Amino acid sequence: MKLILLSALLTALSMPGMLWGYLIWIALIPFFLGMRSSRPLGGALKAFLFGFAYLMITHYWELPVLALNVPEVLDSFPNFIGVVVYVLMCLVIAVPFAGFGFVYSIFWSFFQTRKFTGALFAASLFTVFEGLRELGPLGFTNGRLSDALLNSQLGISQLLALGGPLLLVFVVVLVNHYLADLCTRRKGGRISLLVTAVAMVALVNALIQSAIPLRPTDESSEKTLYALQTNISQQLKYYAPPEETLKVVLMGLEEIPEGSTVIMPEATFMSDIRITPTGARLVELAQERNLEILVGFPIYNGENYNQVRFVNGDGFSGEFYAKVKLTPFVEFLPWPKIFGAFEFLKFLDYFDAGEEFAVFSVDGHEIGAQICFDSLYSEVARNLTLNGAGIIVISTNDGWFNIETALQQHFSKGIARAIENRRYVLQVSNTGITAIIDPYGRVLKRLPTINEVNTEYVIGAFQYLPGTQITPYTRFGNWFFFFSLVLGIAIAILGGVFPVKHEDDAKEILSTFKRIVVVGFSKNPDKPSNNVPMYLKEKGYEIIPVNPTMEEYEGMKVYPDLKSVIADGMNLEAVEIFRPSAEAEEIAIEAIELGARAVWLQKDIRSEKARKLASERSVLYVEDKCMYVEHRRFFT
């Protein structure tokens, strides 16, 4: 279990705003080492604990939000309830990992001697369950393995334009699983292996990144949007009259050049302002300065929407974009009969999910706007692009988050959306990160957050080139999910249901494994149970002697039984048994149950039960053969 928790920690530390994104290329190695030899239920539990731990660490910033910030502002539940909700949230979003662990543990043994096939299967399976993690009313995509690449590895991240986040997840798992298998086959030099692997990934990333086109400088096609980032506290938003917010907004708008198009944050106002003095004053200023202003506020017309729409001198537009991906429990209550007790988590009100991906045609701009939580899902930006958006705008209120990590993780989703669709993405936030990202994920300009400059608002002009390209991902969506599903099923059928039979398991064992556990090792050099393993030691194999009557032999530690070998931190690779048939059968079965990848019974020793169990578990199996003779036959 230590390996599982270590992997969870390393994975979390690779996420945006944490430690180092390149950790993701080795973070899953302890996880896959810990999953070896697990039974399905045990594998499900291990994978669930991995998901729970890494998602809990990744989203540590949610704890002060739920336990301090929200109770302080809304006064709707005590602080300790926020802690309980945080734990329950992590438990729920970790459930898909249990499914992966269950299925992986069923099929793992079928691929234990075929490194690349096993890595392909693990990557396909993990990708499928990662795809399932975003489905349904409780779907959640933050903390994906692909997120680790978004801030520091823009070269490899270009794969997003081909297959979206799931393609990156597949590649990350493939590399980790393959490296985990290599680690089990090496006696030493594992650290150098991992360092070399990360260095190679960094080199590949640098080579791809060097090929990314420079930003065009065609000023004739360049367009400008202005962002008005407000720095208004949640207390003021919820309890002060809208006129207080209006004062800040008007001061900011007065500084923006006349005739401009302005983007403002989500829920700039916390009530419908269309037929209020606040709305009338906003229209008046828009008319005075000839402004087109995208502003966010809720509306209640039979259906409740968290929406954004434009306002100009003629009033509020009839066209609007309503948030499609609502935040569970905060903006809607999933499955009320089950989760009705959690209604106290409601923020402003419950909303209906939008169904239209409206693109605003305003003053020469084709603006695809999305709101806050929408940016976590590729679907929204993709549909806006297909509907003709030349730029994607993310209007968000990050006023609940006091920790920079939360802002970085949210902003990184905009980087993914930009690359996926080859569109500029402009995020405009209340108190959070306001910045523009080019179609290759490069952050071109960023305004200071409230933690960096203590002002009521910040204004910025952002230039962009309207996009027209349709990427494979934009056109075909999550095709890689179905590819992974088909690939995983095919590998399971060909390698699991109908496993490949090796023509000569003896040669396979001697070629594949460099660590041999010798049960029945003798201190008498005249016996085969001594001279055979010592011969193999001379040929470069690592010999692990097992004999309950010995403690040491020629500098080698001698173990009393197989469980002691595992307890000392070593996996059972090949197990050679020098015991009479009656004892050998029991030892062989124990070795297989403990996860041995190959079992070898010496000359004149056979076991029908062990042979059958090895076949069922796809464990390489040899009986009635001398390892010395076979080694000389194949390699001398």
For residues 309 and 284, is the Cβ–Cβ distance under 8 A? Answer: no
- Is residue 266 part of the annotated active site? The answer reads yes
For residues 619 and 598, is the Cβ–Cβ distance under 8 A? Answer: yes
For residues 420 and 395, is the Cβ–Cβ distance under 8 A? Answer: no
Residue 250 structure tokens: 């008007």
Contacts of residue 594, defined as CB under 8 A and 6 or more positions apart, other chains included, come to 37, 562, 563, 566, 572
- Per DSSP, the three-state class of 136 is coil
CA dist., res. 620 & res. 504, Å (int): 10
Residue 298 structure tokens: 């809720």
Sign, Cα dihedral of 136, 141, 144, 147: positive
Residue 222 structure tokens: 């360049």
Beta strand pairing call for 457-464 and 424-430: unpaired
Q: Which of 183, 366, 372, 420 is flagged as catalytic?
A: 372
Q: Which of 46, 323, 325, 413 is flagged as catalytic?
A: 323
Nearest to 227 by CA among 377, 437, 30: 437
Q: Which of 130, 266, 292, 590 is flagged as catalytic?
A: 266
Phi then psi for 633, rounded to 5 degrees? -65, -40
479-491 and 160-184 helices, crossing angle to 10°:
30
For residues 459 and 228, is the Cβ–Cβ distance under 8 A? Answer: yes
CA dist., res. 279 & res. 351, Å (int): 21
- Is residue 372 part of the annotated active site? The answer reads yes
Burial (0-12, 13-18, 19+ Cβ within 10 Å), 30: buried
Question: Active-site positions?
Answer: 266, 323, 372
